[in-house]
Chains A and B, each alone.
Chain A
Amino acid sequence: MIFNHNDKGEPLPLSGIRVVDLTWIVAGPQTTRIFADLGAEVIKVEYKESPDYIRGAPPFADNISGVNRSGFFNNLNRNKHSLSLNVMHPDGMDVLKNLIGVSDILIENFSSKVLDKWGLNYEEQIKIKPDIIYLSLSGFGHSGSKQDYTTWGPTAQALSGLTYMSGSPNEYPAGWGYSFLDHTAGYYGAIALLLALHHRNNSGEGQSVDISQVETGMALTGTYLLDYFVNGRKYKREGNPPGNRARFDIVAPHNIYRCYGEDRWISIVVSNDIEWSIFCKVINRIDLLENNLFSTNTLRITNQDVLDQEISESLRNWNADELMHLLQTKGVSAGLVQNARDRVDNDIQLKDRNYFQEIEHPEIGTYKFDGFPAKFNEIGHHMKRSSPIIGQDSKSIISGLLGYKQEDIDRMESEDVF
């Protein structure tokens, strides 16, 4: 048993929980990254001949591709262990089953029929480990007429409604510039596993959980679905999506404005008359305060086109970062539109909270990682190991944890089982 500790030598909250991690790409690995950060022993099972797709995805360290060189993979799979295993070989399947027998959780994000084909569905799992917690994360779930349909983050976003909800009115959807729903489905995976663990702590009972990635996105459209159910009002209507303006036009200004420099923008939300007065003073436009078109929130909403034009012209030569601090110290919500460079190099809040931490990787060197987004006063997370070299823990798991004899290991090695 690997028992993970924090810097003070205290156990981490999920120390002692072993996870058989059959996931790949992003959504499943997001769930197990959270578990690994919080101390669980996550054993990533992949075969060296068909590694996780993200091992082949850029960016690569020093721009040199290689199975252990993807920065994207390194970021998602830190703190995990790697068992290379050919589950199509009977001995490989035997190892997997023995591993399940000494584990708490099995998680996979294959398309819906894969574990059935392997003869490893939940009914088979509980024969091996009666209190196993089994989580499946698939595009449409393991039931219903579309259960064989597959999604990736972007198409799951499109189906759920989230893509449509992003953009300027009367334009193509701007959508999401990355797989937001891979992260989100991964969070639901983590929430579900923690709920199941709590139930097991209370009852001794494991269970299976079926997550559809599309449904996790639909859960985030709940308010709009209700609007359709009770008011018969569709989201798809004139004026939707609202772009960067406040939905339902509740406050103005509420927008993103261009500032000085290349691709520099600031978000500003002025939510009442007091803030309006502060805002006008900060940007040196007290004339706007005296303008009858803008004297109340209702008028500012009605005259939003003129208002946004006035503000846009005034902010062109502002430094967005400076303006954000000036507005925020006086109580107006404002934020620089930060890209990755801004967040890594210039964000003084993230720096102050020690958000980015470095971990050394045995093959590619030391890189920064984004941290766990919460601080616990009693326990914590750890950022000790980089992502694993593929198969680095195969032998220690098969011989040490599972107790295979040397002769079996030699035979399996010669037959490329791991």
Chain B
Amino acid sequence: MINQTYALNDVTVLDLTDEKGVYTGKLLADMGANVIRIEPLSGNKTRLIGPFFMDRVNEESSLYNWYHNTSKKSITLDISTKEGIEILKKLCLKADILLESFDDNYLEGIGLSYDDISKQNSQLIWTAISGFGRTGPYANYKTTDLVALSLGGPVASCGYDHLPNNPPMCPDGWAGYYTGSHYAAISTLVALIYRDMTNRGQYIDVSIHEAISSSTEAALPMYIYQNAVPLRQTGRHHSINPTPPAIYRCMDGGMIHVFGTPPQDLNRWSKLLEWIQESQDASELFTPRYEEMVTMRNRDSDLMFTLFSYIGHLINSLDSEYVFNRAQSIGLPWGLVRSPEENVSDKHFWERGFFVDISSENDEKPSYFPGAPYIFNKTPWRIHSSAPILGQDNDEIYKLMLNFTTSDIEKLKANKII
């Protein structure tokens, strides 16, 4: 029995991923794994994804790179050289997990294959993250977040029904790559659980396309069971039949997303009607036809549109924070439409410790970091260190893991291997 402070204290991970899989390593590193970023001498290309600290475009200032590489270490290694790939193989013998997102067969082409390495380290878990999977007709197709979310289904469901000539929309923010990375983390951890029991590692082929295709809620069932393709609608669920608008602007310019309405019980329904009545004459709603929307779960389109026009008027006449808090106080799950930074001024997330202070790590870097997607009571999530400077851990890692001497390391540096 090992006494652990962090869930993955006992795990060493080699992280060679680009933006397709870089978040996977962060998920493991913030839970205590020893995650080593292995980068080309010029740095992983995630170092040049913006935005940048003070708009300085250089390898150490990418905020994208800072966010996705917390708690990791960094070593440099030119794996395209013969000596470099031999060193990577040696590292694989000492590691528990290898994460990579190279183009199909790239590593095999330069001399590193799962079949070979697993003969020497049968416990290694090798997670290969790619746009479409490592087999099949699209194995060599090139993905991007836009293309991944288009082929996988989300884009077809997002857009504007009130602007019929507008294209479907791809949400900003790397959601496609995040979905792939979530499944890569799940798959890697499942393999780790299996290894706990059997001492056997394995090779995992994660397809971002399949991950996204599995994340579109009822879109697949609507087609599989009813042969229907839902229509995208502005700011709300895709639907086979049109539904009323869900996002309404408030007096102060803020916006409210209305959902779970009408509620499923008469108690909340009467509180909603009372509230609507405060702003306008809504006697039409106090009738059995509308009550049946609650008691019979009737979603008759005309009734829904009428109800929502009253709700729209109500929301238009009030301030957004007030609408949000009052709706929640009567059990309606409405939400503010916030821009990401607007959550910084919500004390709830500070009370829960979502934002963490890492100012002691490095003066130039921010004092606050966005934080934990979960709160564990025994093995905490933690930013163990800020994102590493390129190659900052060369000496430590090569000495500790491969017993290289200082002069070995100097020679490798001189030969531009590390």
Contacts and interface: CB of A to CB of B under 8 A. Distances in A.
A202 B1 contact: yes
A202 B4 contact: yes
B375 A337 contact: no
B375 A210 contact: yes
Interface in B154-180: 154-160, 163, 166-175, 178-179
A297 B20 CA distance: 23
A328 B210 contact: no
B224 A178 contact: no
A226 B186 contact: no
A75 B221 contact: yes
Given A172-B235, A227-B51, A341 B187 contact: no
Interface string B352-381: 101000000000011111111111111100
B193 A162 contact: no
A226 B366 contact: yes
Contact of B51 (A166, A244, A248, A376): A248
A163 interface: yes
Interface stretch (B271-279, B327-335, B410-418): B327-335
Interface stretch (B78-86, B195-203, B391-399, B400-408): B195-203
How many chain A residues sit at the interface, stated as a range, is 35 or more
B377 A373 contact: no
A63 B226 contact: yes
A14 interface: yes
A375 interface: yes
Given A201-B196, A221-B370, A355-B210, A149 B336 contact: no
A71 interface: yes
Given A177-B236, A339-B156, A224 B217 contact: no
A349 B192 contact: no
Given A155-B334, A220-B178, A231 B375 contact: no
B246 A154 contact: yes
Interface stretch (A41-49, A140-148, A283-291, A404-412): A140-148
Contacts of A192: 374, 376
B151 interface: yes
B175 A174 contact: no
A292 interface: no
A153 B297 CA distance: 20
Contacts of A201: 193, 196-197
B199 to A, nearest CB: 12
A161 B339 contact: yes
A21 interface: no
A38 B190 contact: yes
A174 B337 CA distance: 11
B186 A349 contact: no
B106 interface: no
Q: Of B169, B328, B371, B378, which is in contact with the most chain A CB atoms at under 10 Å from its CB?
A: B169
A158 B343 contact: no
How many chain B residues sit at the interface, stated as a range, is 35 or more
Contact of B369 (A165, A171, A229): A229
Contacts of A163: 235, 247, 257, 337
Contact of A164 (B10, B191, B234, B337): B337
Contacts of A208: 376-377
Contacts of A168: 160, 166, 169
B63 A267 contact: no
Interface in B319-348: 328, 331, 333-344, 346-348
Contacts of B315: none
Given A163-B337, A166-B171, A173-B247, A196 B7 contact: yes
Interface string A351-384: 0110100000000000110111111111100000
A307 interface: no
A348 interface: yes
B181 to A, nearest CB: 9
Given A257-B167, A338-B156, A353-B210, A374 B184 contact: yes
Given A163-B257, A174-B234, A223-B67, A340 B151 contact: no
Interface string B211-243: 101111111111111101110111111100000
A188 B373 CA distance: 7
Contacts of B297: 56
Interface in A125-163: 139-141, 143-163
A373 B53 contact: no
B155 A196 contact: no
B221 A328 contact: no
B283 interface: no
Contacts of B331: 150
Contacts of B175: 162, 180, 220
Nearest to A178: B217
Given A197-B193, A331-B142, A171 B333 contact: no
A158 B369 CA distance: 21
B3 interface: yes
A23 interface: no
A57 interface: yes
A379 B366 contact: no
Contacts of A199: 4, 7, 378-379
A344 B222 CA distance: 11
A401 to B, nearest CB: 22
B376 A195 contact: yes
A72 B219 CA distance: 9
Nearest to B223: A340
Nearest to A177: B157
Q: Of A160, A201, A202, which is in contact with the most chain B CB atoms at under 10 Å from its CB?
A: A202
Contacts of A188: 182, 373-374
Contacts of B67: 222-223, 226
A373 B207 contact: yes
A189 B3 CA distance: 24
B390 interface: no
B183 interface: yes
B339 A59 contact: no
B150 A335 contact: yes
B144 interface: yes
30 contacts: A60-B226, A71-B221, A75-B221, A152-B259, A155-B335, A158-B338, A160-B338, A173-B235, A177-B230, A177-B236, A190-B186, A191-B27, A191-B182, A194-B190, A195-B379, A199-B378, A201-B196, A203-B2, A222-B370, A225-B370, A228-B340, A233-B51, A236-B342, A267-B155, A267-B170, A269-B146, A343-B152, A349-B137, A353-B207, A374-B210
Interface of B: 1-4, 7-8, 10, 27, 31, 50-51, 53-55, 63-64, 66-68, 114, 132-133, 135-138, 141-144, 146-148, 150-160, 163, 166-175, 178-179, 182-187, 189-194, 196-197, 200-207, 209-211, 213-226, 228-230, 232-238, 246-247, 255, 257, 259-260, 297, 328, 331, 333-344, 346-349, 351-352, 354, 365-379
| Top-8 shortest CB links A-B | A177-B157, A155-B335, A71-B225, A161-B340, A373-B210, A166-B171, A378-B202, A335-B147
